[in-house]
Structure 1
Amino acid sequence: MAIVLGPNRYGKAETRVVHVTRDGEVHHLKDCNVSVSLSGEMEQVHRSGDNAAVLPTDSQKNTVYAFAKKHGIGEIEEFALLLARHFVDSQPTIHHARVAVEEYGWERRGPHSFARSGTEVRTCVVHHDRDGSSAVVSGLRDLVVLNSTGSEFHGFVQDEYTTLAPATDRVLATAVTARWRHAPYAGRTGSGGERDYGRSYAEARECLLDAFAGTHSLSLQQTLFAMGERVLLARPEICEVRLELPNKHHFLVDLAPFGMDNDNEVYFAADRPYGLIEGAVLRDGAPPAGPAWD
């Protein structure tokens, strides 16, 4: 029986890079976490330890810093594409590059003073192949949202273990993780003929927020579909949206022992366990995803 090498990749994970653009007294800040994974002709390094095909992960880290200096960091999708194309185009033994970037938001408090803006993180994953094809998935995580009414949950299956009471007025809260896949050769363009990833991101994010706020929810699944649908209807460059919505449960506190009513006013916010709702919303006939989500 033959033993063969299966799919593999290697790289430098979580290179933290902060870039400051000094425009006179006014400074601009980009704070990112960059992870690189490369794959290609890696048979011999696994079988015999021959490193002739291996670009060291330390070199990958240094490339991130050098490119931040040479090119700056604009939209994270553009920076990730720049890196991915470089690794494939400059190394004959590398056939595929995956670059993932997280961006941490900072709120301006002065010309060169900033404060971290909440927990929300902007994300992207880029894949680039030797044939020149690229795939881009943008997104965000830890976008915390809450509706204090306009949510119900009833008519569900009840078995011998069911204790949950039907609800016609409840708090609906979640921490959104959303990722959206850009269709090939689609979307609006910005300067230089490139896609305007900044505008695309801002408007997709606004669609998610608008749909969450504007949907009278009978289930978190219904809200998930409404959020994904809103993005696809508004943004033609996006062909698929994937969402993870943990149900941040809020339970009414029993105030009867203190002689008080609780008319949907005082809640206990439980952190675990929680329901986790996941799903994809995509255009009928959308191009295949390939490795984009990986």
Structure 2
Amino acid sequence: MELGDNQYGKAEVRLVRVDRDGPQHRLTDLTVTTTLAGDLAATHLTGDNAGVLPTDTQKNVVYAFARDGVGQIEDFALRLARHFVDTTPTIDRARVHIDEHSWDRVGGHSFAKGAGTRSTTVSASADGEWVVSGVGDLVLLNTTGSEFHGFHRDEYTTLQETSDRILATAVSARWRHAEPTDWGTSATAARAALIGAFAATHSLSLQQTLYAMGQKVLEASSSIAEVRLSLPNRHHFLVDLQPFGLDNPGEVFFAADRPYGLIEGAVRRPGAPEPGLAWW
């Protein structure tokens, strides 16, 4: 027997920081996951923990580093990843994933929970550093401008073709940077591109919409090499009101939560450099 690939870390460290240096407070709400890998054979094979940085220590580093400020989540993740690789002799690879939960300002020191999350995953090793940014749970819906017809049929197909349907999804998108950039400006532009493409595309399939959204993200930021999207199709079914003597001219729907179609894909910039570490 031999030991295969392995890693360990601290999952979902909850961190809230309040910046009070001004008349309006700033709120940062994060969930941070650290993952470390390297020469960890001894702890697996013999129980010798001399090379293991405790996961509790990793949690403490997150809080200690936040004391100096968080800033852009990509920069914060880079600081953490570099620290673990530079200061722990047995660790040669570190990955830090951060979800930033949005809050909308409703006063100088009052906030309301916002929609969607911004995210980043940073990987650091001797081979280099790779930064991936993204958004999650970005719920979008078009009440028209979506069709689905001309699909392959077999003896099990019951789905009816349609030239007008509700198209709804909860976007999960991640984009890989080819070079450092203004992370905040890039994230804002990418999010706007996703929303704009979804709204503007007359969709013949959710796959077509996915490609249009990815294309617009690449056009919005020259630093992005590749974007990957996961789009669950949140089906809305027209309710049959005929048993009640009523018509239903596309007004009353049942919103189903499962099962659902799941459309996933990547859009790449031609000639973009490949990452040295797995990121998907």
TM-score scaled to structure 2, two decimals?
A: 0.97
Q: Secondary structure at the match of 2:20?
A: strand
Cα deviation, residue 130, structure 1: 2.9
Match of 1:126 in 2: 122
Q: Would you say 1:85 and 2:49 are equivalent positions?
A: no
Match of 1:286 in 2: 272
Q: Once the two structures are aligned, what percentage of the paired residues are identical?
A: 62
Q: Over residues 98-136 of structure 1, what are the superposed CA-to-partner deviations in whole Å (9 max), with x where a residue is unaligned?
A: 000011111111111111113x111111000035x1001
Equivalents in 2 of 1:289, 1:279: separation in Å?
17
Match of 1:222 in 2: 208
CA contact (8 A) 1:249 1:270 kept: yes
Equivalents in 2 of 1:83, 1:158: separation in Å?
52
Unpaired stretches in structure 2, ≥5 consecutive residues: none
Q: Would you say 1:161 and 2:156 are equivalent positions?
A: yes
Cα deviation, residue 290, structure 1: 3.6
Q: Quick one: which of 129, 153, 165 aligns to 1:170?
A: 165
Equivalents in 2 of 1:26, 1:211: separation in Å?
34
Cα deviation, residue 292, structure 1: 4.0
CA contact (8 A) 1:126 1:292 kept: no
Equivalents in 1 of 2:219, 2:33: separation in Å?
32
Equivalents in 2 of 1:123, 1:284: separation in Å?
25
Equivalents in 2 of 1:130, 1:18: separation in Å?
31
Cα deviation, residue 25, structure 1: 3.7
1:1-294 mapped onto 2 (5 Å cutoff): 3-70=1-68, 72-118=69-115, 120-131=116-127, 133-183=128-178, 186=179, 195-294=181-280
CA contact (8 A) 1:75 1:198 kept: yes
Cα deviation, residue 62, structure 1: 0.4
Q: Secondary structure at the match of 1:45?
A: helix
Match of 1:191 in 2: none
Cα deviation, residue 284, structure 1: 2.0
Cα deviation, residue 52, structure 1: 1.2
TM-score scaled to structure 1, two decimals?
A: 0.92
Cα deviation, residue 285, structure 1: 2.1
Give the aligned residue type for 2:16: V
Cα deviation, residue 289, structure 1: 3.0
Cα deviation, residue 260, structure 1: 2.0
Equivalents in 2 of 1:291, 1:262: separation in Å?
53
Q: Secondary structure at the match of 1:110?
A: coil
CA contact (8 A) 1:136 1:292 kept: no
CA RMSD between the two structures? 1.2
Unpaired stretches in structure 1, ≥5 consecutive residues: 188-194
Equivalents in 1 of 2:220, 2:131: separation in Å?
18
Cα deviation, residue 24, structure 1: 3.8
Cα deviation, residue 94, structure 1: 1.0
Give the aligned residue type for 1:209: I
Q: Secondary structure at the match of 2:152?
A: coil
Q: Over residues 178-217 of structure 1, what are the superposed CA-to-partner deviations in whole Å (9 max), with x where a residue is unaligned?
A: 000111xx35xxxxxxx21000000001000011000000
What count of residue pairs does the alignment treat as equivalent? 280
CA contact (8 A) 1:39 1:97 kept: yes
